[in-house]
């Protein structure tokens, strides 16, 4: 190995070494970000489930308030009103839409 080859090899190692270390660091960052995205996707899916459950709860409270004057009175005193949604085409029931003032 002559002197020129030695210096070319040395400088190549000096330049490639940090790039290799940077690649290791970035691969770990990407792996961590993927893990966080999976967690956030789970939270988003749970949010849809909870939204549906809240809608069902509002529907049930609305139905009960139509039958129970005491519940209706409590809701009026707390300024809570539930407005039923317009029925969808082909829908058999009319779920209420919660509206809090």
Alpha-carbon torsion, ordered 81, 53, 55, 75, to 10 deg? -10
> Which of the four pLDDT bands, split at 50, 70 and 90, describes residue 91?
very low
Average pLDDT of the chain is: 83
pLDDT at 52 over 90: no
Which range has the worst mean pLDDT, 34-43, 58-67, 76-85?
76-85
CA 67 – CA 69 distance, rounded (Å)? 7
> Which of the four pLDDT bands, split at 50, 70 and 90, describes residue 88?
low
Q: Please, are residues 75 and 101 in contact by the beta-carbon 8 Å criterion?
A: no
User: For residue range 8-40, what is the model confidence (pLDDT) as tens digits?
Assistant: 999 999 999 999 999 999 999 999 999 999 999
């Amino acid at each position: 190995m002559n002197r020129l080859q030695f210096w070319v090899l040395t400088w190549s190692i000096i330049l490639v070494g940090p790039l290799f270390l940077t690649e290791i660091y970035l691969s770990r960052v990407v792996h961590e970000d993927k893990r966080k995205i999976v967690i956030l996707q789970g939270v988003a899916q749970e949010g849809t489930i909870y939204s549906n459950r809240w809608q069902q709860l509002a529907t049930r409270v609305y139905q009960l308030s139509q039958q129970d004057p005491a519940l209706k009175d409590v809701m009026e005193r707390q300024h809570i009103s539930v407005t039923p949604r317009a029925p969808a085409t082909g829908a058999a029931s009319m779920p209420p839409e919660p509206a809090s003032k």
